[in-house]
Amino acid sequence: MSSKPVICFDTSKNERFQISDNYKMLHRKLKVNWNVEQNAAELRKERLARVKVFVLAGPQDRFTEDEFEVLKHYVEVQGGSLLVLLGEGGEAEFNTNVNFFLEQYGIFINGDNVVRPHYYKNFHPKECIVGGGVVCESMWRHLLKMDIEKVDYDFSDEKYKIHFQYPYGATLNVSEPANVLLTTGPVVYPFNRPLCGYYSNGKGGKILALGSGYIWHDKYLQDKTNDAIWEYMLRLLDGDEISSKYTHLDFNDVEISDNKHFTDLAFLADMPKACLIDSIGSEMPTDFKQMFDMNLCALSNNLLKDVIDAYEKLHVKYEPLRIIKPQFEIPLPNLQLATFPPIFSEPPAPPLELYDLDETFSGARSQLAHMTGQCLQALQSKEPQRRALNQRELENYIKECARITAIVDERQDMAAREILNIVARQIVSYRPFAED
């Protein structure tokens, strides 16, 4: 006898997702470590006694009260694991009553749709790519260690690196004692709404409800992240050590928004137009002009005499209406056409009188003579008892003469003593030639 655990897919309620139809790839994966079975008969306690995981993959018929009691006994007494999958539209679309059972454990699958408002990878808006939807901390940390495609963006929270496909699904309402594992995230309508609810009890019984059975369809199970989520949830339902590691911190920071309804534009577009409802049951006239009431917008002078008489009764002078020329407040002055072209003033001549041509183009001897003459003129203008050059004037005279004769570079600031020392050395060096 095989020691593999048993996973059973129910087919008694005309389930939309079958392992022989659109779950073939999932069936091949399960056969490696599981005994895969199907149940086509009415639910019995004896039938579920040896089943480890029981799957309701999109039931499209209603359950009886006895069958709900069997499922309740399976979860609460036998400690079995139940996986419930639906799709967009919820119970109304699938014509089932599975929410009657799930509500006892704080889970309810809504009759809405999950859409992505802009294109990303998939063309259809209901083939949603959910980012940051794995809200259970232990779950997204486990998925990041697996071989999945991660989005290489610098997010403040690493869970935003996980993107999974959630096609043609609905949202859930999850309350205690159940917890939320997946949400729509911040970019998929409706925002931050639960997609997956999880319940567990002390006897090992578990319920996992997901709003989309297409997430593990053959077309979408090829996605590595969807495959990793399936393996994680299967281990969770199998009673693996994953569930034992859950703490209250894994579900405390889950951000859930209120359930808000959006207008169904496709439904409104199919409704008959209000302007054509009145014509139902009436005959169309031969002359189409009779369909229009021209009197509503007609112009006439029938009341003109009464208006003029009202002036006499009110003792108001009657004056015909005149056109009043509007006056606009213009922030700029009025513009007038120029009869003659404008005359612009000539620019002033350059200040050449400030440029000393003699000083610039004269030779070194002339500049020395001019410099010496200025100093003598300054001495003669002084008082007789104060006609001697002070130390500062003498230093300036020596520096200016050194600049004119190019003994010192203009950019070099040298003391007067050093300049005289250079001149003395040059004079000494010429003395031998003078003696010869």
One domain for residues 362 and 217 = no
Strand-pair partners of 308: none
Q: What is the pLDDT of residue 298?
A: 66
Per-residue tokens: 292: 């229009």
The closest of 234, 213, 200, 207 to 71, measured between CA atoms, is 207
229 part of a folded domain? yes
List of residues 6+ apart from 19 with CB closer than 8 A: 9, 26, 27, 30, 36, 38
258 part of a folded domain? no
Give the domain range for residue 407. Answer: 355-376+389-429
Tens of pLDDT, residue by residue over 30-40, are 888 888 888 88
Q: What is the pLDDT of residue 434?
A: 47
206 part of a folded domain? yes
350 part of a folded domain? no
Q: What is the pLDDT of residue 370?
A: 82
Per-residue tokens: 126: 């209901």
214 part of a folded domain? yes
**Spatial strand order in the sheet of 206-210:** 35-39, 6-10, 53-57, 81-85, 206-210, 194-200, 179-183
318 part of a folded domain? no
pTM of the model: 0.59
Q: What is the pLDDT of residue 162?
A: 81
Tens of pLDDT, residue by residue over 382-404, are 666 555 567 777 888 888 888 88
Instruction: Provide block-wise average pLDDT over 10 residues at a time, the chain (436 residues).
Output: 80 88 88 87 86 90 90 88 90 89 90 84 84 80 80 69 86 87 85 87 86 88 86 83 65 72 72 61 73 69 86 86 76 72 79 64 80 79 61 82 80 81 83 53
Domain count, the chain: 2
CB 54 within 8 A of CB 6: no
State the Cα–Cα distance between residues 158 and 155, nearest whole angstrom: 6
Question: Which one of 251, 279, 309 terminates a domain?
Answer: 251
The closest of 4, 7, 26 to 230, measured between CA atoms, is 26
State the Cα–Cα distance between residues 87 and 168, nearest whole angstrom: 6
Question: Which one of 251, 271, 303 terminates a domain?
Answer: 251
Q: What is the pLDDT of residue 1?
A: 47
